[in-house]
Structure 1
């Protein structure tokens, strides 16, 4: 890729949930591609159930290329999956045909994709079926982890932006991947399947950090807008099991009285009932309830004349009640 000064000025980052969904098919099809993703792959295979994956798997060619029309250049910084998929659903039949043939070239298309070379109506039907399957696959394989994935991708962007500020384009690309080299205004990408020379020519370069990308990759076709997907930093931490909650650590963080209150509230309770269970007066627990609510660890709901307190999702995470033995009132009275 040849980038001039204007192109560098217009180099920017984006997130693409659709891109991650499509690229993850490589890992699903080829477990040897990245050992880091094996925990994710095992969980997803257990959940796919009756979903017909034969067509989805056929989208990944033997040389691991994917059709460009399934990963359109994001129009916004972080588009919704549904918005990106809507763009794919508008793909013209000739583009579907061109991209699938380019993905498998010089080989012939496999049986599940043969309709792409038939009449336009059949090519469009194939496109729509692929989109329907991708929507189902997204809900099963990517959506449950998208919040964590997005945090990781945004952390990489923050790091890259700092590299750019400190050392310009040379430092931006220096440690992105061994296959990338920046020299004399040209971004060289080694070990590409397709070989071509692209002048960005004022269109700007869009950088897509990716959880599932195993190496930097531009679009298969040089006619597509300039986009570079690259492996994000920190992927090894993404699928690691969460540490087992430690009840003693909760006490050290909140203090024994508040830790006991938080652990008690598996279900919403009024102040008087909490006080009864701890055998203290309501005023003895009220101040602790106010603090826990103010810090987002408790929810508060009015039910007639009484106020019910329950754990918030953040409080549930902190207590880890499903993995650790909950604290109870047997440890002593709640006091200040």
Structure 2
């Protein structure tokens, strides 16, 4: 059990971040144990051939049988616009003592493949992760990032509607926030208590954890949690829509309206509905101009959400 003790100042400093490097590191869980991540089986199938040419010796030495990864693969993102290149550059400069400590925190020792010069080992790790990214992440990252960004917007709505307590307790069944303590039930048998003391708490959505995760060591406070909306990531979606609304708006626009009870980007919606991004954007702009959707910018993406008017239109047609 990990317990983060928060005060009023810390509560105000809770923020979200997205880390491409963390996704890379955590994806090793799915590569090592595919059955643990059924929602990502389509991704694993699509990338199977590409993964054959990766440096598996180095990559698999970064994870153990518990699916723990060293903390240097889980940097605390400083913004929602974190770039992989920046994270890899920082990883390459990891001090030797931190490199050894983080590996020993996972394995109890430094794996033989990383014995010797830490500089050489880090160069190999950066090269292996870059190859993993280019082969398996780069083609799909816009979809993945759209899911992560939509999750962050949803959590922001939870804070606005129900407060921080409701949002934190809704992240995972393994997180409980009460009486100034954020308790995270981990597989780690250790019982740890860490005061945030003004350092802020960063929440990081990911597609490669089934429950809440946290750094192995006592670094800056951070919780990684399963992002919402992963189930629709790899398949085209057909959302049932009321016939009356479809008769007015058309089937595609009515389906988009019905689907946007949670925020999503045009890229994500294009994947879910099996249509081009340009066609989706045309429909979304028309629905927004009619007052049926609202939009907000998050990082490089524009996320759309059904407005009160759009919800009233759907509910009215269902009641008719």
Q: Which TM-score applies when normalising by structure 2?
A: 0.71
Distance 2:35 2:277 in 1: 37
* Matched residue SS, 1:61: coil
Please show how residues 190-269 of structure 1 align to structure 2 within 5 Å. Answer: 190-193=185-188, 194-222=190-218, 224-241=219-236
Whether the aligned pair in 1 keeps the contact of 2:24 and 2:129 (CA below 8 Å) is yes
Q: How many equivalent pairs are there?
A: 245
How far has the Cα of 1:103 moved from its partner? Answer: 1.0
Q: CA RMSD in A?
A: 2.4
Q: What do residues 168-221 of structure 1 show as CA deviations (whole Å, max 9, x unaligned)?
A: 221011221111111100011113314311101100001101111221111110
Whether the aligned pair in 1 keeps the contact of 2:207 and 2:227 (CA below 8 Å) is yes
Whether the aligned pair in 2 keeps the contact of 1:169 and 1:182 (CA below 8 Å) is no
Distance 1:138 1:70 in 2: 14
Whether the aligned pair in 2 keeps the contact of 1:72 and 1:87 (CA below 8 Å) is no
Distance 2:205 2:71 in 1: 17
* Matched residue SS, 2:193: coil
Q: What do residues 81-126 of structure 1 show as CA deviations (whole Å, max 9, x unaligned)?
A: 1111111011111110000000113xx444323x1xx4xxx11110
Q: Does 1:80 align with 2:83?
A: yes
* Matched residue SS, 1:209: strand
Query: In structure 2, what is the equivalent of residue 21 of structure 1?
Result: 24
Whether the aligned pair in 2 keeps the contact of 1:3 and 1:185 (CA below 8 Å) is yes
Whether the aligned pair in 2 keeps the contact of 1:219 and 1:227 (CA below 8 Å) is yes
How far has the Cα of 1:41 moved from its partner? Answer: 0.9
**Cα–Cα, structure 1 residues 316 and 177, in superposed 2: closer, same or farther, change >3 Å?**
closer
Distance 1:15 1:24 in 2: 14
Which consecutive unaligned segments of at least 5 residues does structure 2 have? 239-248, 251-275, 283-320
Query: In structure 1, what is the equivalent of residue 177 of structure 2?
Result: 182
Q: Does 1:147 align with 2:142?
A: yes
Whether the aligned pair in 1 keeps the contact of 2:205 and 2:227 (CA below 8 Å) is yes
Query: In structure 2, what is the equivalent of residue 31 of structure 1?
Result: 34
Whether the aligned pair in 1 keeps the contact of 2:19 and 2:75 (CA below 8 Å) is no
Computing the radius of gyration over CA atoms, which structure comes out larger, 1 or 2? 1
How far has the Cα of 1:10 moved from its partner? Answer: 0.7
Query: In structure 2, what is the equivalent of residue 112 of structure 1?
Result: 113
Distance 1:36 1:86 in 2: 31
Distance 1:313 1:155 in 2: 17
Say which of 139, 155, 169 aligns to 1:160. 155
Distance 1:127 1:168 in 2: 42
Distance 1:60 1:51 in 2: 15
Q: Which TM-score applies when normalising by structure 1?
A: 0.68
* Matched residue SS, 2:192: coil
**Cα–Cα, structure 1 residues 136 and 242, in superposed 2: closer, same or farther, change >3 Å?**
farther
**Cα–Cα, structure 1 residues 101 and 313, in superposed 2: closer, same or farther, change >3 Å?**
same
* Matched residue SS, 1:170: helix
Say which of 68, 80, 93 aligns to 1:65. 68
Question: Which deviates more, 142-151 or 91-100?
Answer: 142-151
* Matched residue SS, 1:233: coil
Query: In structure 2, what is the equivalent of residue 314 of structure 1?
Result: 278
Query: In structure 1, what is the equivalent of residue 99 of structure 2?
Result: 96
* Matched residue SS, 2:139: helix
